Amino acid sequence: MADTIVAVADIGSSTVHLLVARLGPDGALQALLDESVRPLLGARAAATGSIPPDAEADVLAALRRYQAAALQLGAATLLIVATQAVRQASNGVAMIRRLQAALNQPVVIISPEQETRLALLGAYGGQLPPAGLFADSGGASTQVAAVEAGRVTWQRSLPVGASSLTGTFLLDDPATPTQEAQAIRAIEGAIDMLPPPPGIGCWLPVITGGTATTIVYAGLGGCSPAELTPGCLAAAESILRGQSSATLSLRHGMDHQRARIVYAGCLVIRRLIDWSTAAAWRVSTNGLREGIVRAAVADPNGWQLAVSDSGIS
């Protein structure tokens, strides 16, 4: 199906994000509208394990606006998914039921496996490489997958992300050394659950997610616009350490909410890339939402099941 307009909203741990995009016959994806709000569900639910009513109200208000915008731009419907913050919240399922009733449409909690494979599809432009290593470091979790011979050989969902780590450990702004040490122990414990990285050869490591794009856009630590290296991440971590979110926002042009959680995200990404032993990772601005667009165009009625080991089935 060519020149189809698809609208996707994902309820993430840091943002509720809308993408309305057109997928052309040549496979090129054109964004018609790309916007987000930051209810920070992961951080706001970290203390109690439950999403508070005011956070749920923020999500509903955003989704109502997104419904109207999607229809105005020509999308037949708005596909809405929820990820880790909702998956792990004690009241996540109840919240989704209320959202469905209020919006009069489905809202799907996707599994970590679905999230990883859809994000892979978006980051690699619809076709998996012969070999690759992929990560999507989000607000409440970090998805990691290895690709060999054009197929996903393993995937893991690590329970560490920028928003949840901030809400659990980095409670002061800026964080104290003790809080930082606690966060790093949690990150290293999660990364220890990963299999060994694939052997380095003709493979393409790619990372997506808000922290990765924030670091390269801001040029923190000398990171280039397209990739992250162990050296530039170490420098970025040094820049972020001990700085308040207000200072980071002022100095680096970040919005305040992103500035509040970017240090935690940098801690995750630096240790993940060190684990990989790769010299550099390419940063992709495409991920879960773009993958859903591609899957939905291929199979409008079964897009959740349209992701196989080798791409679109």
Model pLDDT, residue 313: 28
Look over the chain and give the mean of its residue pLDDT values, rounded to a whole number.
91
Once rounded to an integer, what is the mean pLDDT over residues 78-82?
96
Share above pLDDT 90 across residues of the chain, in percent, rounded to a whole number: 75
Is residue 181 within 8 A of residue 144, CB to CB? The reply is no
Give the domains, in start order, of the chain with CATH numbers: 4-112 (3.30.420.40), 126-283 (3.30.420.150)
Helix or strand run (H / E) with residue 249: helix 245-252
**Collapsed DSSP state (helix, strand, coil) of residue 99:** helix
- pTM for this predicted structure: 0.88
**Collapsed DSSP state (helix, strand, coil) of residue 22:** strand
Distance in angstroms (rounded) separating the CA atoms of residues 249 and 36: 18
| Span 23-66, pLDDT tens digits | 988 889 999 999 999 898 988 888 899 999 999 999 999 999 99
| Span 111-167, pLDDT tens digits | 999 999 899 999 989 888 888 899 999 989 999 999 888 888 999 999 999 998 999
Distance in angstroms (rounded) separating the CA atoms of residues 240 and 232: 12
Tell me the helices (H) and strands (E) count for the chain, helix number first.
Answer: 12, 13
Instruction: Choose among 148, 151, 158: nearest CA to 200.
Output: 148
